[in-house]
Amino acid sequence: MKNKPTFKFFIFLTSILFLFLAQNNVNAQENEIYEVSDYSLKKKISKKNDKARFYDLALKKHPTLYINNGGLKSNSESIKPLKIDLLGYKSFNGFINGNYDKENVELIILTLDNRADLNNSLDVSNNNDFKKLKYILVKCNFNCTNEDILKFVKVNSKVRVFYKYDLPQ
């Protein structure tokens, strides 16, 4: 009967360890990166799917701000933009430092032209200007991987990251 307290302690310790590992799994899932293809962008998405808003923003016409190399290329509408389309990594720095309305932006689309752009980072984790930011889509004009994007993009747990690559022909 001396083993009974030891057994209870072992069960207690195992339970604590299990809870700790389960919590880490939940946190890891929040920061996943999702690859999208042209097919997945074009297929119909159920409204119940939590990614439906992303596909709606990515595919349909919404107020969009287009920025090329840090300068405003065009604003599709004169109202506050819901998405920002950054053409090249230099555009991101110009956008962050520029006097653009970021408050209603839900989607940032960033197009990377070459692998060297991945040596930089896209960090919006502590930027309070993006009050409604939910999604980032990174488009690579070269072959990129989940690991590349994971190292490149820094976001808080409320922002989902998607990526796709299109090899130029």
**pLDDT tens digits, one per residue of 75-93:** 655 678 889 888 888 888 7
Q: What percent of the chain has pLDDT over 70?
A: 68
Same domain, yes or no, for 94 and 142? Answer: yes
Domain count, the chain: 2
Q: Is the distance from CB of 93 to CB of 123 less than 8 angstroms? A: no
Q: How many of the other CB atoms lie within 10 Å of CB of 122?
A: 23
Query: What integer best gives the mean pLDDT of the chain?
Result: 77
- Residue 4: exposed, middle, or buried by beta-carbon count in 10 A (0-12, 13-18, 19+)? exposed
Q: What is each CA distance from 108 to 14, 86, 144, in whole angstroms? A: 43, 7, 18
Write down the residue that tokens 């097919």 correspond to: 39
pLDDT digits (tens, 9 = 90+) for 16-62: 666 656 554 444 335 677 777 654 555 544 445 667 888 888 888 88
Whether 103 shows a pLDDT value over 80: the answer reads yes
- Say what the pLDDT of residue 142 is: 92
Same domain, yes or no, for 141 and 77? Answer: yes
Same domain, yes or no, for 19 and 39? Answer: no
What is the pTM (predicted TM-score) of this model?
0.71
* Residue ranges making up the domain that contains 20: 1-30
- Say what the pLDDT of residue 47 is: 47
